[in-house]
Copies of this chain bind each other. A is one copy, B any other.
């Protein structure tokens, strides 16, 4: 699918490319997941109300979000599931080829490498690196752990364009710098460290301890709150319990 199929229909009339608020981007991924659920159930058409319910947002928010991408629904009818799925994928940039290199083959790195969730959603894990001689060469899933000393050449050969950092906080910044130097501009870090990246590089961070701390806050004060999802600006995600 990397080929440039330029038939008129394929070219989305969207040089519009408005910058979407990050809260919207986060919700789009939720809608995507919900739509996949509908596809699995054989549902062909949904209303904003139905999709919003499945996504845990209000239908007003859903329509507002979708309308930022274009008019992909039909008044009085709803949205065609497959069609909307395509447009959402396109808007999120998922029609491209994303090749992910995982840096760090410790417990977490190995777990991530074997995690099935990537493949099914358009991401391919193309490399798994570590510096530990004890680990280098081991097979993990269908990958072999490569020597992180060769990071640059490995990234080049595998054409990795995303990196996942799964290493100790102490090693994270250095690894991050090398990954950036290798030309990667999208990084997901699981390292418990505050990382510095140059402009033009997008870094996202997932930290277990942070998540637990936020849970602690809610638990401490009578909680009451429903669920919240990951993501910037903390949009409520994948909700439920809205009632």
Contact = CB atoms under 8 A, between A and B. Distances in A.
A234 to B, nearest CB: 2
A164 B209 CA distance: 12
Copies of the chain in the assembly: 2
A203 interface: yes
Interface residues of A, number: 92
Interface in A1-49: 17, 19-20, 22-23, 25-26, 28-30, 32-34, 37
A144 to B, nearest CB: 17
Contact of A111 (B111, B197, B205, B241): B111
A82 B185 CA distance: 37
Interface stretch (A59-67, A73-81, A93-101, A129-137): A93-101
A65 to B, nearest CB: 13
Interface of A: 17, 19-20, 22-23, 25-26, 28-30, 32-34, 37, 54-56, 91-94, 96, 98, 100, 106-108, 110-112, 114-115, 117-118, 120-121, 123, 161-162, 164, 185-188, 192, 194-221, 223-238, 240-241, 243
